[in-house]
Structure 1
């Protein structure tokens, strides 16, 4: 794949740190990587955004950000409140396609979930993925409630004819509860896609050098890593 779209099942599920892990693992495999943040919200002009956080953790990656809005809201709402032009799916697709002419892998990180609106016309990250014909990686939480949001996301992708590359758990707890451990078997079932990784809780707080070293152990071979889903499930199974 030359472009991979990364979305979450909602907010605060670990989407940015997973993007960083995918980027770091690809770089370790010898690939050049660019990270495109479609719309950054809730960050002041002088503050680092998600793309900069990916670069801090992953190191040698290029970054691009199409728009930034100060309020921590959905991009369409944040753009309207700021009186600024919204980002449209076609602009996201065009920027990603242009980066793909220069880099081996382009990671397009959305804002929140798959259907969060970019503009007043209802454009979403799913629309951008459709224009690109790119696979979508879904970042999900580990515990109770994740099966519903993950299946809804998978169903929407299927209805649009988009490829679900797989699911990555954005934050695997040090002491997982019963729901989290059972979800290792249930997430692939409800999504119809493989589990492609699980990042340990607190991964983003690691020193960048340690993050770079560890990232391949969190992701499956399809994402250039060495993580074994079957072995992980056997070890963590209830």
Structure 2
């Protein structure tokens, strides 16, 4: 795969850390990696954004932001309130295509969920994925309530003819409750896609060297790692 779009079922669920893990695994395989953030919101001009965090953890990547808006809102709302230009799906597609010429893998990290609006015409990350004909990896939370979000996102992808690469739990708790453990079995059925990883809670706080060394153990072979869904589910249940 030359391009993977990383989306989620909401905010603050681990998309950036999952993106960093994907980058770290690819870099360990000797692949060149670029990470594109179409719209960074809620971060000041001099502050580190999601792309910076992926670079810190994953190491040796090319990071690109197309736009940065100061307020922590949906991209189109943040852009309008700041009096700034919005990002359109074709802007994302053009940037990715240029990066793909010089990189083995381009990761596109969305903002919030799949259908969050980027522009005044209702353009979304799903529209960018369609233009790129790229598969979408969906990051989900571990606990109660995740199944509905995963099911809705999977349905939206299928309705648009987009490939759902799989589902990754963005922050797997040290002490998972009953709902989280049961969700490991239910997520593939509800999402309509395989479970391809579980990143441990707090992984983003690891030293970069340790993060890179462990990243492959959190992701399934389809994503370049060694994580086994059946073995993991059996162990935690």
Give TM class, smaller chain. Answer: over 0.9
Match of 1:96 in 2: 96
Unmatched segments (≥5 aa) in structure 2: none
Residue 185 (structure 1) aligned with residue 164 (structure 2): no
Q: Indicate the RMSD between aligned Cα atoms, in angstroms.
A: 0.5
Size of the alignment, in residue pairs? 237
Q: Once the 2 structures are TM-superposed, how far is the Cα of residue 191 of structure 1 from its aligned partner?
A: 1.1
Residue 156 (structure 1) aligned with residue 156 (structure 2): yes
Residue 194 (structure 1) aligned with residue 191 (structure 2): no
Match of 1:62 in 2: 62
Match of 2:131 in 1: 131
Alpha-carbon distance between aligned partners in 1 of 2:225 and 2:78, rounded to the nearest angstrom: 36
Report Cα offsets for 1:77-125 as digits up to 9, x if no partner.
0000000000000000110111011100000000000000001110000
Moved over 4 A (4+): none
Alpha-carbon distance between aligned partners in 2 of 1:8 and 1:162, rounded to the nearest angstrom: 15
Match of 1:212 in 2: 212
**SS of equivalent to 1:138:** strand
TM-score (norm 2): 0.99
Report Cα offsets for 1:209-238 as digits up to 9, x if no partner.
00000000000001110001110011012x
**SS of equivalent to 2:118:** coil
Match of 1:28 in 2: 28
Match of 1:6 in 2: 6
Q: Once the 2 structures are TM-superposed, how far is the Cα of residue 12 of structure 1 from its aligned partner?
A: 0.8
**SS of equivalent to 1:116:** coil
Report Cα offsets for 1:1-31 as digits up to 9, x if no partner.
1000000100011000000001001111111
**SS of equivalent to 1:6:** strand
Alpha-carbon distance between aligned partners in 2 of 1:32 and 1:233, rounded to the nearest angstrom: 32
Unmatched segments (≥5 aa) in structure 1: none
